[in-house]
């Protein structure tokens, strides 16, 4: 596989046994509701139960934005700092 782990996660397809067509959203037969969850850094976070599929999908997308955007921004910042540090050291030498 080519690319970073972040790219692989982003491009991952929905699993065959998915009932909703959306990652992290599934039907909970015991409650008769849609259930949304998200996993990050080895932990699964329950977002909630929803009457409508669209509500669960919207909640999942908001959770993705809150979780993954902050993480990706921190990666970009760390990469920039590392590059700046290398450039500074190169100039000093």
**pLDDT at 17 (0 to 100):** 79
**pLDDT at 15 (0 to 100):** 77
10-residue stretch averages of pLDDT, the chain, 93 residues long: 59 78 92 93 91 96 83 65 53 41
**pLDDT at 93 (0 to 100):** 38
∠ CA 28-29-34, nearest 5°, is: 35
**pLDDT at 25 (0 to 100):** 95
pTM: 0.65
Mark 20-58 as b/e (b = at least 16 C-beta within 10 Å).
bebbbbbeeeeeebbbbbbeeeeeeeebeebeebebbbe
């Amino acid at each position: 596989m080519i690319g970073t782990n972040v790219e692989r996660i982003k491009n991952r397809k929905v699993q065959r046994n998915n009932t909703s067509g959306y990652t992290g959203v599934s039907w909970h037969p015991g409650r008769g509701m849609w259930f949304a969850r998200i996993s990050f850094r080895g932990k699964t976070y329950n977002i909630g139960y929803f009457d409508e599929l669209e509500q669960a999908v919207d909640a999942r997308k908001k959770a993705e934005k809150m979780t993954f955007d902050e993480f990706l921004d921190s990666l970009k910042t760390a990469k920039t700092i590392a590059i700046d540090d290398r450039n500074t050291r190169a100039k000093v030498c």
